Amino acid sequence: MKKQVLFGLVVMFFTTLSAQENRTSADPEDGHGLEDMIQNPIANMVSIPINYNLSINDKNSNFVNFQPVIPIKLSKKWLLVTQTSIPFINAPSQSGYSNGVENITFFGAITPAKKDSFTWGAGPAIMLPTGVKDLGYEKFSIGPSVVALKQNNGFTYGLLVQNFFSVAGPSDVGDVNYLYTQVILSKKLNKSWYVYSSPNITADWNAASDKQWTIPLGAGAGKLITHNRYLPINVKAGVFKYVAHPTDADWLIQIQATFILKHR
């Protein structure tokens, strides 16, 4: 059932994307303004997103993720957009609660430098173990990362897909085969407000069949704040219901603030 959900999302995304490409040309401003760039994970923008996630269960889990994004100009036509995720976790474990840094992930996406209503990127994704017991995988893992995104008439819709495979680490721990996807869906409103539904759907392919998937479904709202004394800030919050979770968590509350240091 979970695989069908993911497959359906992929088919729906590419079907919609194909339909849009066959329509009349998009607004020339689509994908250019800062309100569009904040919805694009591979935009030419230096930023520091800070995410807080609360998974509600009998024992709640707290997750704070720092995700600096740094684009690097390769040539007039190409960019390398890098994102590093450093997650700090407070989660239930066999001994009570575990605290510390979970797996650090990095991906670099090569993407066209020209702004457009349609963009894509591809490159390597790397997962580093931190050695903290009960938090994350314990093997060094790598894999492919692909993202495609369309922006048209105030809508943004896209998909980011990564799959990690272990290549080195202790022989007495399990191998890694881990899927990470981010659905990207948002609609601009007036006065820099927007609504969104961008769940992170994951699968641990080596886990038992009833423990493989994490699927939150829900929505939220956000606002780009540009009229302040300092840097532009994008803030958003959402509520999601888990339809699948390894620990049977019920709800996810998500809050994010993104500090925009530089954009082109």
pLDDT tens readout for residues 146-165:
999 999 999 999 999 999 99
Residue 31 has a pLDDT of 61
Q: How far is CA 194 from CA 38, 72, 112, 172, 215, in A?
A: 11, 28, 26, 48, 23
Residue 3 pLDDT > 60, yes or no?
no
Contact 63, 50 (CB under 8 A): no
pLDDT tens readout for residues 24-82:
344 546 667 899 999 999 999 999 999 999 999 888 999 999 999 999 999 999 999 99
CB proximity list for 35: less than 8 A, separation 6 or greater? 188, 192, 194, 224
Q: Cα–Cα distance between 85 and 102 in angstroms, integer?
A: 10
pTM: 0.85
